Structure 1
Amino acid sequence: MSDFWLYFNLGLSHVLDWTAYDHILFLIVLCAAYTFASWKKLLLLVTMFTVGHTLSLLLAHYHIVSVSSKVIEFLIPVTILAAALFNLFTAGKEKKVEKMGIFYIVTIFFGLIHGLGFASFYNAIESDAGVLPLLEFALGIEAAQIIVVLFILIAAFIFQSIFRFNKKDWVLVVSSLVIGMIIPMLISNWIF
């Protein structure tokens, strides 16, 4: 049972590590257009991201996929930028966007990229104990993501209800702030 908490806590700290805030930034832009009223769709999106993240760790752990860490460290901020830009161009058009099943597929793909960013660290701490530690780690990631999502939804509620931001402005401001934060990360990891 102590191994469960070890890997669960590792998943929690992976997401909630404020020094490695790329995961949180991605969650912020992923959640920006959602409210408590659409929590089921948001939970599905976050879970899709976890599935992609876990799948890439599994593929990397068993040496099925190997990607240069420089490429992954560049692609992680690209995924955040892409999600933020998507928000900027679709703010206020939720009805059209919700019909796009591709959004879920892209979220899984982005999860794959983010998972590959953590694969070398995970492989260094985990020998060949099987899939169970990876699933325990994934549960920690999912729990941490739900914590972050709750904070984001509470912030959205406060700004949209108390400070009277309309939803479109909230999405535009949050996405723009994330873009401003991600550009330095993109430049420092530039591979071209």
Structure 2
Amino acid sequence: MSDFSLYFGLGKDHILDYANGYDHILFVVALCALYVSHDWKRVLILVTAFTIGHSITLALSTFKIVNVRSELVEFLIPVTIFITAVSNLFKNENNIGTKPMQANYFYALFFGLIHGLGFSNYLRAILGRDKTIITQLFAFNVGLEFGQLVIVLLFMSVCFILVDLFGVDRRDWKMVISSAIAGMALILMKETAFWLDK
């Protein structure tokens, strides 16, 4: 198996691993919660902005150019989830897309920077002392992006069935999904509040 295939698989499996990647899954779903199936282009832009953000800090952190305490990163990740989910509650889903450059894209990019630091801890652990990591880093990022697109496809498919086919109100869909994610993010924030440890 080539290095590319190996690290592509590791990236894909990391984002799709419910036990280890659930926080990132929650963030991707929170990003998608405002949208329905015909908004798929906007969702792709959001996910790509998130990928660009986490690719930057994943590279910087893996090459040890940026170093942030892992405990802080683990706390900030659920904070990004909470902010994204709560902000969904105050947005009018019917006005989405009226502006060419939405603030959501910048939030996804910025929050992606934080998530990249979280991915880097995992990647550094599996790379060990390997110094030639450019191919592995690229493959890992591509695998992460693929995993995120799988999550988006699954979520948007469920959204299509419930909202488009069964007529669930779009606002109700947004409110239920975003509220549930915000609640889970609060639990994660409490669990990762490192300053509370004895």
147 and 122 in structure 1: CA distance in 2 versus 1, 3 angstrom threshold: same
What secondary structure, in the 3-state scheme, does the structure 1 residue paired with 2:90 have? helix
| Cα contact 1:91–1:172 (8 A) shared by 2 | no
**Alpha-carbon displacement from aligned partner over 1:113-162 (angstroms, at most 9, x marks no partner):** 11101212211222221322111111111111111001110111111134
Q: Indicate whether 1:30 and 2:31 are aligned.
A: yes
Q: What RMSD over aligned residues (CA atoms) do the two structures have, in Å?
A: 1.7
Which residue is equivalent to 1:152? Answer: 155
> After TM superposition, where is structure 1 displaced by more than 6 Å over at least 4 residues in a row?
none
What secondary structure, in the 3-state scheme, does the structure 1 residue paired with 2:93 have? coil
Which residue is equivalent to 1:182? Answer: 185
Q: Indicate whether 1:140 and 2:143 are aligned.
A: yes
Which residue is equivalent to 2:111? Answer: 110
| Cα contact 1:73–1:189 (8 A) shared by 2 | yes
Question: Where in structure 1 are there 5+ consecutive unaligned residues?
Answer: none
Which residue is equivalent to 1:90? Answer: 91
What secondary structure, in the 3-state scheme, does the structure 2 residue paired with 1:90 have? coil
| Cα contact 1:28–1:152 (8 A) shared by 2 | yes
Comparing 99-108 and 14-23, the one that deviates more: 99-108
Which residue is equivalent to 2:62? Answer: 61
| Cα contact 1:88–1:171 (8 A) shared by 2 | yes
Shift of 1:163: 3.4
Comparing 73-82 and 125-134, the one that deviates more: 125-134
101 and 33 in structure 1: CA distance in 2 versus 1, 3 angstrom threshold: closer
Shift of 1:2: 1.6
TM-score when normalising by structure 1: 0.93
- The count of aligned residue pairs is 192
User: What is the alpha-carbon distance in structure 2 between the residues aligned to residue 44 and residue 96 of structure 1?
Assistant: 12
Which residue is equivalent to 1:6? Answer: 6
User: What is the alpha-carbon distance in structure 2 between the residues aligned to residue 128 and residue 84 of structure 1?
Assistant: 39
Question: Where in structure 2 are there 5+ consecutive unaligned residues?
Answer: none
Which residue is equivalent to 1:80? Answer: 81
Which residue is equivalent to 1:172? Answer: 175
TM-score when normalising by structure 2: 0.90
Q: Indicate whether 1:18 and 2:21 are aligned.
A: no
